[in-house]
Structure 1
Amino acid sequence: MKKKDSIEPIAECSYNRLAIMDAVAMLSGKWKIPVLCALMQHGNLCFLDIVRHVHGISAKTLTKELREMESNQLVTRTVLNTRPVTVEYALTDYGRTLDKTIFELLAWGLVHRKRLMGKDTLGEKSALSYFAEMQQDWPVNRGREKVVKVG
């Protein structure tokens, strides 16, 4: 096996492109990021709570998305010993590593919307203060230092 330093520039580009495509495939679709955001924002949630927080998602679609995210080790599924049976979903430590990526997508999206619409959707709030407020309220970030640094 070759060291990364010895990889040809074209092969390295292909390798990097494949890694990006893997990440995009894992987060692609209409619902994965909203489901991840709901878990980041609210902590552990039962199935129906996720349905309530992710407006418009069907139970069938949520089941499919949660199974995919569980197979990618982003969420854990815990069956609670209750009557009726309750299933709770939580982000794994690995899933929590996506918070920086999601905030970066949010930052880019806000700039992009401003560029296209010609107005700032945050009003007088700066993006930095918006992110700081948002992050400190998310259970996954309590007790951690600020994650996103916006320019």
Structure 2
Amino acid sequence: MKKKDCVEQIAECSYNRLAIMDAVSMLSGKWKIPVLCVLMQQGSLCFLDIVRHVPGISAKTLTKELREMESNQLVTRTVLNTRPVTVEYTLTDYGRTLEKAIFELLAWGLVHRKRLIGKDTLGEKSAHSYISEMQQDWPVNRGRRIAIK
């Protein structure tokens, strides 16, 4: 292998590694994926509804996570003209691009859990068929499918 080819491969690997680290960093932590999943499943929700749908999250932590997701353009924050003021959060179209990645993580996690525990909690269903059925039940996804390969 020529030295030039080797240098180009190293540069490409570094670039790819940085892109992966950006994605992992943006989704890291205990609460971002659960909050994203709730918004994927339910659509627009006010702050207190998110707190109710994500067991164990504090209001302070949710505020921090939502601010980070808003700065990363994953969610939009809309202040509604009501008394008292209501703030609603919705996934952006850009945030919806994470659906496939999150469902792939879910599929991998189900297979991994089965491998570690040695017990199939899904019965005859594959991880992908389970996810497809689950998606159909989500109000925001009725009539819409996300392709998982």
TM > 0.5 between the two?
Answer: yes
Corresponding residue SS for 2:63: helix
- How many matched pairs? 143
* 1:98-109 alignment, distance < 5 Å: 98-109=98-109
Following TM superposition, by how much is the alpha carbon of 1:139 offset from its aligned partner in structure 2, in angstroms? 4.1
Following TM superposition, by how much is the alpha carbon of 1:141 offset from its aligned partner in structure 2, in angstroms? 3.1
Given the alignment of the two structures, is residue 37 of structure 1 paired with residue 42 of structure 2, yes or no?
A: no
| Structure 1 stretches lacking a partner, 5+ long | 1-6
| Structure 2 stretches lacking a partner, 5+ long | 1-6
Deviant stretches of 4+, over 4 Å: none
- Tell me what 1:3 maps to: none
CA distance in 1, matches of 2:27, 2:15: 19
Q: What letter is aligned with 1:137?
A: D
Corresponding residue SS for 2:76: strand
* 1:130-149 alignment, distance < 5 Å: 130-149=130-149
Given the alignment of the two structures, is residue 89 of structure 1 paired with residue 89 of structure 2, yes or no?
A: yes
CA contact (8 A) 1:73 1:92 kept: yes
- Tell me what 2:73 maps to: 73
Give % identity. Answer: 87
Following TM superposition, by how much is the alpha carbon of 1:123 offset from its aligned partner in structure 2, in angstroms? 2.6
Q: 1:22 to 1:140 in 2, by over 3 A?
A: farther
CA contact (8 A) 1:39 1:45 kept: yes
Aligned-residue Cα RMSD (Å) equals: 1.4
CA contact (8 A) 2:135 2:145 kept: no
Corresponding residue SS for 2:105: helix
CA contact (8 A) 2:76 2:91 kept: yes
Corresponding residue SS for 1:132: helix
